[in-house]
Amino acid sequence: MKYVVSKDKGPIFGNIQLPASKSESNRLLIIRELANGTGELSNLSDSDDTQVMIKSLQEIKDGDSEEINVGHAGTSFRFLTSFLSSQDGKQFVLTGSDRMKQRPCGALVDALRAIGAEIDYLENDGYPPLRIKGTSKLNSKVSISGHISSQFISALMLIGPSLKEGLNIRITSELVSKPYLQMTAALMREFGADLDFSDQQILIRPSAYIMKDHVVESDWSAASYWYELLTLCGGEVILKGLKKSSLQGDSEVQSIFSFFGLSTEFMESGCKVYSDGNTDVSTFEYDFTMVPDLAQTLMATCAGLGVSGDMKGLSTLKIKETDRIEAMANELKKFGIITRTAADSMSLSGKILSQPDRIQTYHDHRMAMSLVPLAVQVEQLEIEDPAVVSKSYPRFWDHLRAVGFRINSDLL
């Protein structure tokens, strides 16, 4: 299946109820489970990743199956690896899609084994699937690199309070995606955890999570595509459910897009984002080490504006749903954009000169959502596997229709 997407030139106006943050939702679901399942979580994400987490935790609780399959849901896989390791007397096989079996998990498994977890690789060393036998006899000190994936460290942090002696995590290199760890720490503290956080050490004391009702904030990563659209089209959009004092690192999108003439004003229901029409910039440079999920959005924005871009701090993009550096380079070239890639960076230049063939999405929701705004620069854009957006933003296409995009399906 593919979508053929087009839009007339001109500004967009809308009132958008953004999806809830899956990052917050999945952390809270683990915390609630460790707090014995009490507490009401409102506005949980309807994304595939969160629905997988809900289903998996229920299967673990019911014990009806010895295999938990998380499909493409990387966050769920990592958090559940740690969670299952701490569940005394329970044994499960944790697996996923073919792509999940290509995503390394060795650093997390090594860290869990170092504190006494019983985990075996069932196919290739360092990769899913895993056989995990839970135990309550986990030690309290572990070291882990900070430059591979913040989700590995978050996975360890979440179980820390439930361990008999807590958990002392020593970080052996510079942290990437630090805001996600700060989010984890803030949510843990909100529900009773006692911890100290620094770049080199996270000290978590033994304590019981005390669950209470919580409303999940909308997703700033999803908001980024609206900032991109407003930059390319102009106009004004109200994005519901966002908070000025957000736990999400991707709220940095406000500051980044102010460079392209966008303003953000907060109100009770969310925020109003609008363009002052000042997009007369020629170059853009940014280090995405702390906010890697915004990188594709800014790559596509620069391409749409004809702005030369120099994107750094992209090392974690290679182990996402796809190798996002190469995938973006491949697709932007179809528009006539010149790209140069390295292990942790990408530069691009040139203007959109050509009508691309079908845009591939590589089973990656962010590929689809970051590239489709470029439909305003060409006659039409063909997007393969449009359903991939359900991983984080199931109503994305409906919301585009609401602001004037024409979206036709082709089952061929």
Catalytic residues: 293
Gap between the Cα atoms of 162 and 194, Å rounded: 11
In angstroms and rounded to an integer, the radius of gyration of the C-alpha atoms of the chain is 21
CA 291/CA 408 separation, integer angstroms: 33
d(CA 302, CA 232): 10
Helical axes 22-34 vs 74-85, angle rounded to 10°? 20
Closest CA to 381 of 401, 399, 360, 402: 360
Q: How does 46-77 read in b/e, with b if 16+ C-beta sit within 10 Å? A: bbbbbbbbbebbebbeeeeeeebbbbbbbbbb
Tell me how far apart the alpha carbons of residues 20 and 133 are, in angstroms, rounded to a whole number.
Answer: 33
- Residue indicated by tokens 């993009």: 317
Torsion, CA 261, CA 265, CA 271, CA 276, rounded to 10: -30
Residues found in the chain: 412
Q: Residue 306: name the closest of 276, 349, 259 by CA.
A: 349
Number of helices (H) and strands (E) in the chain: give both, helices first.
Answer: 12, 21
Q: How far apart are CA 304 and CA 232, in angstroms?
A: 7
How far apart (Å, rounded) are the C-alpha atoms in residues 22 and 325? 23
Q: Please state, in angstroms and rounded to a whole number, the distance separating the CA atoms of residues 313 and 103.
A: 19
